Amino acid sequence: MSLQFLDTNVFLRHLRQDDPVLSPKATAIFSRVEQGEIRTRTSDTVVFETVFTLQRSYKQPRDRIAEALLPLIELPGIFLPGKRIYHKAFALYRTGPLGFADCYHVALMQRLGITEIFSFDTDFDHIPGIVRKET
């Protein structure tokens, strides 16, 4: 079974259920993935774009985004390298001041054992175990 790439708009149409033609198609794709009929590949940029669009354009709260998107990413038929890191990234995103990309960066740093970050973003100062440096 070959892989097909899963784009941001499929996630959005499924999660939003806002298009009478495309939303049912998107949901059917996820149903086929869940049933093991198809295998798909997606990317970090698709996840980031989906989170960004849901938060900025659709004004969805962080909890709702995490609760809706994480189970989709976790489907066995969705291949996303490093998908386990998203548990920690979404946990930080739900509770902290950082944007999603920075939450992902913290989760990645923790997985890699990195404790220092060069950044001018003072929100990193609120993350235990992370030391922000400017020089």
- For residues 110-129, average pLDDT: 96
Rounded CA-CA distance 53/47 in Å is 10
Domains of the chain: 1-81 (3.40.50.1010), 84-135 (no CATH)
pLDDT at 119 over 80: yes
pLDDT at 45 over 90: yes
Q: Name the pLDDT band for 127 (thresholds 50, 70, 90).
A: very high
- For residues 87-107, average pLDDT: 95
**Which residues 6+ apart lie within 8 Å of 52 measured at CB?**
100
The torsion angle over the Cα atoms of residues 133, 123, 57 and 30, rounded to 10 degrees, is 80
pTM of the entire predicted model: 0.93
User: What pLDDT score was predicted for residue 65?
Assistant: 98
- For residues 30-58, average pLDDT: 97
pLDDT at 1 over 80: no
